[in-house]
Amino acid sequence: MKRAIITVVGKDTVGIIAKVCTYLSEANVNVLDISQTIVGGYFNMMMIVDVSAAGIEFSTLSDELSEVGKGIGCVIRIQLEDIFDMMHRI
Amino acid sequence: MISRLEIQETNSMIEKMNLDVRTITLGISLLDCIDSDLNRLNEKIYEKITRLAGNLVATGEEIAKEYGIPVVNKRISVTPIGLIGASACKCEDDFVSIAKTLDKAGKAVGINFIGGYSALVSKGMTRSEELLLRSIPKALAETDVVCSSVNVGSTRTGINMDAVRLMGQVIRQTAEKTASLDSIGCAKLVVFCNAPDDNPFMAGAFHGVTEADAVINVGVSGPGVVKKALEQARGKDFEFLCETIKKTAFKITRVGQLVAKRASEMLNVPFGIVDLSLAPTPAIGDSVAEILQEIGLEHPGAPGTTAALALLNDQVKKGGIMASSYVGGLSGAFIPVSEDQGMIDAVLAGCLTLEKLEAMTCVCSVGLDMIAIPGDTSAETLSGIIADEMAIGMINQKTTAVRLIPVIGKTVGDRAEFGGLLGYAPIMPVNGFGCADFINRKGRIPAPVHSFKN
């Protein structure tokens, strides 16, 4: 399993999760966990996903997700989980 | 499981506090390129660099995508050319031809800088090393990405004052040859005492002869992250202050370790070291000076600066050393003037002088770095400043360096513009009293005694 973290931040609107999940499903990326809050009208979502079966390169996934984000007024990042593990776990 | 807060912390370090991987530097040994025929030597150097570093830039960019962290520079360091060119180079221009080959190879693979136009002459100079030193002004003026460094002293050997005298002249000539660009050639030239073999930072990177055929060294940076973390330590005691720096340095260095391992895996080149240095840039909030201010100084240069910097440097090392399996290079806080807006402000406010900077170099990781001085500074004065800085390194068993820029045609009150990461700098006054009789003595300063420390 190759886990990555997706963060979505932006102004809340209808269909953010739907758009992101539709894209992930088309890219064959499995969602393992989602948590989401809205603070002061701002949408903030964190997803843990498995990219090991994704049909495309990680860099393409990253570029396309940020394009999806632009379409819905959000900033979407995907990062391999290792960077957080390294920084916060000994 | 990683929590939302931890993810937010990491990402705000990257997005808001300028956390980045400052450089992935691929060290390449050129020892197997040595040839007595200059053309063949140049061909072999070009072939080896482009073969080994062909994927370096793409790899750096891919890693940046994978982890969502900028990898600002991709660089190459090579074996000191003073050794590599020894059998083929009969004149200064022969050495310049190697500089041009390095420049061409570096541009072909798309890297920012290539270091190693260097000579290690801490005890004596061979004829070819002297030729290399004399060729530096032309080599730096006629290339774009080549960086040069010369090690003129060490704790074990003392200081080669013949080389110190010559480097004063070399710096002046380099300044004159690049006078139209505010003497920028000097920004690519460092004089060292106790130069490390595995430093990934420019302009002083070279691939030491003790190193393997190729190696990946990574420099991380994040003065902005330390500054932000210290905002919580306002008014708190030294224990809290030091713990905060240590924890932050640990987190920053872990990212460097991750990136270094990944780059090593992708390029199939062994991982060498992570350099823990806090390296500032001219960007707002990416400043070592601001950390010193957060510790409690009005400006760097105020009384207390040396102590604050000593504390900072030591805590960065303590936090970083546990975070990486191999630490090396320069590892500490850099205090360049032109690359740090807070340092520039301190100079403009009249708080920071060359003499105070010299004192600060006794406790930080490098030395007098990126300091613009009047263009009419004599070669002897430059050599005198170099000798002082080398003596600090020699006696204190640490790396020290000098990267001074005598800006031709400018004087105190003017400003030199270097652009990009090199920034801009106000011209700082230099003590004008003479030292020519001292500098013109021949020979070397003997190695210091290693006991009776006071």
Query: Hey, are the CB atoms on A83 and B65 less than 8 Å from each other?
Result: no
Residue % of chain B over a pLDDT of 70: 100
Please state the rounded mean pLDDT for residues A1-18.
92
Query: Hey, are the CB atoms on B67 and A77 less than 8 Å from each other?
Result: no
Residues 6+ apart with CB under 8 A from B44: B32, B33, B35
User: Using an 8 Å Cβ cutoff, are A60 and A68 in contact?
Assistant: no
Secondary structure letter of residue B373 according to DSSP: E
**Buried b or exposed e, range B98-112, using 16+ CB within 10 angstroms:** bbebbbbbbeebebb
Q: Is B265 on the interface with A (CB under 8 A)?
A: no
Element (H, E) at B292: helix B288-295
**Secondary structure (3-state) at B294:** helix
Q: How many structural domains does chain A have? A: 1
Q: B292-321, pLDDT tens digit by residue?
A: 999 999 999 999 999 999 999 999 999 999
Q: From the list A59, A78, A83, which residue is nearest B10 (CB)?
A: A83
**Secondary structure (3-state) at A21:** helix
Query: Hey, are the CB atoms on A87 and B254 less than 8 Å from each other?
Result: yes
Q: What is the pLDDT of residue A77?
A: 94
Q: Name the token pair of B454.
A: 């006071």
Query: Hey, are the CB atoms on B65 and A85 less than 8 Å from each other?
Result: no
**In chain A, what residues touch B10 (CB-CB under 8 Å)?**
83-84, 87-88
Strands (E) across chain A are located at 3-11, 30-39, 42-50, 74-80
Q: B236-270, pLDDT tens digit by residue?
A: 999 999 999 999 999 999 999 999 999 999 999 99
User: Using an 8 Å Cβ cutoff, are B424 and B283 in contact?
Assistant: no
- Interatomic CA distance for residues A73 and A67, integer angstroms: 10
Q: Could you tell me which CATH class the domain B19-193 is placed in?
A: alpha beta
CA dihedral of residues B161, B162, B165, B167 (deg, nearest 10): -100
- Interatomic CA distance for residues B368 and B402, integer angstroms: 5
User: Using an 8 Å Cβ cutoff, are B346 and B308 in contact?
Assistant: no
- Interatomic CA distance for residues B246 and B314, integer angstroms: 9
Q: Is B15 on the interface with A (CB under 8 A)?
A: no
Q: What is the pLDDT of residue B187?
A: 95
Q: Which of A36, A39, A87 would you mutate first to test chain B, the one with the most B CBs within 10 A?
A: A87
Element (H, E) at B146: strand B146-154
Query: Hey, are the CB atoms on B66 and A86 less than 8 Å from each other?
Result: no
Query: Hey, are the CB atoms on A79 and B258 less than 8 Å from each other?
Result: no
User: Using an 8 Å Cβ cutoff, are B192 and B389 in contact?
Assistant: no
Please state the rounded mean pLDDT for residues B92-109.
97
C-alpha to C-alpha distances, B5 to A42, B11, B227, nearest whole angstrom: 16, 10, 20
Q: From the list B1, B6, B66, which residue is nearest A58 (CB)?
A: B66
Q: B219-232, pLDDT tens digit by residue?
A: 988 899 999 999 99
**Which residue from B259, B272, B397 is spatially nearest to B327, judged by alpha carbons?**
B272
Q: Is B274 on the interface with A (CB under 8 A)?
A: no
ipTM score assigned to the predicted complex: 0.88
In one letter, which amino acid is A53? A
Q: How confident is the model at residue B375 (pLDDT cuts 50, 70, 90)?
A: very high
Q: Is B321 on the interface with A (CB under 8 A)?
A: no
Q: Is A1 on the interface with B (CB under 8 A)?
A: no
- Interatomic CA distance for residues B219 and B204, integer angstroms: 13
**Secondary structure (3-state) at B32:** helix
**Which residue from A21, A31, A29, A85 is spatially nearest to B7, judged by alpha carbons?**
A85
Domain boundaries, chain B: 19-193, 220-445
**In chain B, what residues touch A33 (CB-CB under 8 Å)?**
1
User: Using an 8 Å Cβ cutoff, are B144 and B99 in contact?
Assistant: no
Q: Is B251 on the interface with A (CB under 8 A)?
A: yes
Q: Is B67 on the interface with A (CB under 8 A)?
A: yes
Q: What is the pLDDT of residue B18?
A: 86
CATH number of the domain at B220-445, please? Answer: 3.20.70.20
In one letter, which amino acid is B155? T
Closest residue in B to A37 (Cα) is B4
- Interatomic CA distance for residues B245 and B320, integer angstroms: 10
- The CATH number assigned to the domain holding A71 equals 3.30.70.260
Query: Hey, are the CB atoms on B66 and A81 less than 8 Å from each other?
Result: no
- Interatomic CA distance for residues B46 and B34, integer angstroms: 12
Query: Hey, are the CB atoms on A87 and B251 less than 8 Å from each other?
Result: yes
* Mean of all residue pLDDT scores within chain B: 94
**Which residue from B141, B79, B160, B149 is spatially nearest to B118, judged by alpha carbons?**
B149
Q: B34-80, pLDDT tens digit by residue?
A: 999 999 999 999 999 999 999 999 999 999 999 999 999 999 999 99
| B19-193 matches B220-445 in fold | yes
| Residue B174 pLDDT greater than 80, yes or no | yes
Please state the rounded mean pLDDT for residues B188-197.
95
Q: Is A78 on the interface with B (CB under 8 A)?
A: yes
Reading phi first (left if > 0) and then psi (alpha if -120 to 50, else beta), residue B116 is in left
- Interatomic CA distance for residues B256 and B273, integer angstroms: 9
Q: What is the pLDDT of residue B421?
A: 72
Domain of A52, in residue numbers: 3-88
**In chain B, what residues touch A58 (CB-CB under 8 Å)?**
62, 65-66
**In chain A, what residues touch B6 (CB-CB under 8 Å)?**
84, 87-88
CA distance to partner chain A, nearest, from residue B52 (Å): 23
Q: What is the pLDDT of residue B153?
A: 97
- Interatomic CA distance for residues B218 and B260, integer angstroms: 6
Tell the residue number behind the tokens 């912390």, with chain if given. B9
| Residue A68 pLDDT greater than 90, yes or no | yes
**Buried b or exposed e, range B224-252, using 16+ CB within 10 angstroms:** bbbbbbbeebeeeeeeebbebbbebbbbb
- Interatomic CA distance for residues B276 and B269, integer angstroms: 21
Q: Is A42 on the interface with B (CB under 8 A)?
A: no
C-alpha to C-alpha distances, B33 to B36, B135, B321, B375, nearest whole angstrom: 10, 21, 35, 39
Q: Is A56 on the interface with B (CB under 8 A)?
A: no
**Which residue from B249, B147, B283, B159 is spatially nearest to B202, judged by alpha carbons?**
B147
Burial degree of B420 (CB within 10 A; 0-12, 13-18, 19+): exposed
CA distance to partner chain B, nearest, from residue A14 (Å): 23
C-alpha neighbours within 13 Å on the C-beta side of residue B153: 37
